Amino acid sequence: MGAKDFTLTVTGIEDVSPVYRRLRLTDGDLLTAHGPHPTMWLRLWFDKAGKPHQRAYTVVDPDQENGTFSLEFALHEGCASDWARAAKPGDTIEATVQGTGFQRPQPEPSHVFAIGDPASLPALNSLFDALGTAPATLWFEGALDGLPSRTDPARHTVHEIPRGGSALTDRVRADLPDLLRATPHPYVWIACDTATTRTLASYVRRELGVPKDRTHALGYWRP
């Protein structure tokens, strides 16, 4: 399937908040083998009751020359969060790169519409960095307070939506149609839990008629 495996080594730890931790790592030549790109992600392999268990994470601030990058963990229950909580410099973890990619929309977006949550925040930050000065509207499930958001009040409108139920999908359905009508070259980027992502991707493509090459949708986690 074209996958390659690498060993990452923890070199530094930063507690961004009580529920969000950033780890700095050496890349085991990963960035040499796979040149970095916006929203680049990899799979980490954890031990779960003696069995291998994988979770996907976005590469943060890759430095190809020095072979380093960061990974950010929204801490909750689970083997990935347990590993991140206990991590210390010198610890290693196996990573697999497969299927990651980024197609820059053409023509350039006149407005970006992004939908995400704490799990996809590193990818959202990478997306906003990559698309430069394009204005954006973000519907974020949860609160950004205390998280390392790179939103810019001068060009980003942020709607924080309470977690749970259908609040996020209801708000997007209410807001997005009128916003799309006012935008000649939209780009819609969706990265929530798998079920929400599928629901919103279907809505955007089938009901609102946004072309496939003007949308990106990837489920980042399962409840």
The per-residue pLDDT for range 26-81, each reduced to its tens digit, is: 999 999 999 999 999 999 999 999 999 999 999 999 999 999 999 999 888 889 99
Q: For domain 4-97, say whether CATH 2.40.30.10 is its number.
A: yes
The per-residue pLDDT for range 122-171, each reduced to its tens digit, is: 999 999 999 988 999 999 999 999 899 999 999 999 999 999 889 999 99
The per-residue pLDDT for range 112-122, each reduced to its tens digit, is: 999 999 989 99
pTM of the model: 0.89
User: What does the domain layout of the chain look like in residue ranges?
Assistant: 4-97, 111-217
Strands 186-191 and 215-217: parallel
The CATH number, out of the four listed (1.10.490.10, 3.40.640.10, 3.40.50.80, 3.20.20.190), of the domain defined by the range 111-217: 3.40.50.80
The per-residue pLDDT for range 167-203, each reduced to its tens digit, is: 999 999 999 999 999 999 999 999 998 999 999 999 9
pLDDT at position 133 is: 85
When pLDDT is cut at 50, 70 and 90, the band that residue 101 belongs to is confident
pLDDT at position 1 is: 43
